[in-house]
Amino acid sequence: MQKLDMKYEGKAKRVYATEDQDLYVVEYKDDATAFNAQKRGTIGQKGVVNNAITAILFPQIADHGVPTHFVEKLSDREQLVKAVTIVPVEVVIRNVAAGSFSKRLGIDEGTPLSQPVVEYCYKSDALGDPLINTDTAVALGWASLDDLSTIKDYALKVNAFLKDFFLKRGIKLIDFKLEFGKLSSGEIVLADEISPDTCRFWDAKTGEKLDKDRFRRDLGNVEEAYLEMLRRVEAQ
Ligand code: C5P
């Protein structure tokens, strides 16, 4: 599938049109940003790892009842996806307190939550993805109540599948972010990626962080952690 005009360039990916208006090519970059792009760098092999992990997870998520935009992996850094309009509401699912949740509420990182917590943020680089609620999203026309109900149902299904998938591979899924898109038919599908950029992964035995927090917090061995996560995901 030939790449035509670049439709969008984000912090970690580029999206290209193709000769088929219903299909896009997504190209994964090694560029990394954190803290609303105040911290910038590159993580060796990140694009390859995130493309590979997403390409393994998305078809399995679809098998578990959540439709996705994923079509096929094209190369080390490229995948073919269905064209969607991204819903500008990022969904964060938390199983264990960490990151901004711990900071906001004064809860120690690592405190288990008695049920998954679903949070919503407005997807805006300029504003630093502020926390919102579903009323805000409806009032500002970002998503309908029906769409948000579908999105929450899908997010919890993805969480149930991923928690089990990763635990079998010795990884605790602490929290993660999902993005959803709309096909031209209006159908909501899971979009974007699921990777060490968008999830917190802690080794179940040692508690070692195997995700982007190694970059955010200058913990070292960032590339090694990403490659270790790919190894675990590829394990049968
Ligand atoms: O920073 P915070 O604790 O809110 O992040 C929650 C989860 O969502 C983390 O796994 C983080 O990697 C992910 N996230 C993301 N993109 C954002 C914000 C958070 O992938 N813009």
Supply the CATH number for residue 33's domain: 3.30.200.20
C-beta of 212 in contact with ligand 1 (< 6 A): yes
Residues 93 and 72 in one domain: no
Amino acid 137: pLDDT: 98
Kindly give the pairing relationship between strand 31-34 and strand 39-42.
antiparallel
What is the atom index within ligand 1 of the atom nearest the CA of 174? 10
Residues 96 and 25 in one domain: no
Cα first-last separation, the chain? 30
Residues 115 and 199 in one domain: yes
The tally of domains found in the chain comes to 2
Residues 50 and 96 in one domain: no
C-beta of 99 in contact with ligand 1 (< 6 A): yes
What is the atom index within ligand 1 of the atom nearest the CA of 98? 3
Amino acid 36: pLDDT: 86
Amino acid 226: pLDDT: 98
Residues 124 and 186 in one domain: yes
Residues 200 and 106 in one domain: yes
Domain containing residue 26: 6-82
pLDDT tens, the chain, 236 aa long: 799 999 999 999 999 999 999 999 999 999 999 998 899 999 999 999 999 999 999 999 999 999 999 999 999 999 999 999 999 999 999 999 999 999 999 999 999 999 999 999 999 999 999 999 999 999 999 999 999 999 999 999 999 999 999 999 999 999 999 999 999 999 999 999 999 999 999 999 999 999 999 999 999 999 999 999 999 999 97
C-beta of 92 in contact with ligand 1 (< 6 A): yes
Amino acid 37: pLDDT: 87
Which one of 198, 202, 213, 217 would you pick to mutate in the ligand 1 pocket, going by the greatest count of ligand atoms within 8 A of its CB?
Answer: 198
What is the atom index within ligand 1 of the atom nearest the CA of 177? 8
What is the atom index within ligand 1 of the atom nearest the CA of 99? 3
Last residue of a domain, one of 82, 103, 124: 82
Q: Does a structural domain hold residue 184?
A: yes
Q: Does a structural domain hold residue 227?
A: no
- Single out the residue of 146, 48, 139, 133 nearest to residue 89, CA to CA: 133
Is the CB of residue 192 less than 8 Å from the CB of residue 162?
no
Question: Percent helix, strand and coil across the chain, each rounded to 5?
Answer: 30, 35, 35
Last residue of a domain, one of 82, 99, 131: 82
Amino acid 157: pLDDT: 98
Residues 78 and 60 in one domain: yes
ipTM field: 0.98
Which one of 173, 175, 194 would you pick to mutate in the ligand 1 pocket, going by the greatest count of ligand atoms within 8 A of its CB?
Answer: 175
Residues 216 and 110 in one domain: yes
Residues 126 and 187 in one domain: yes
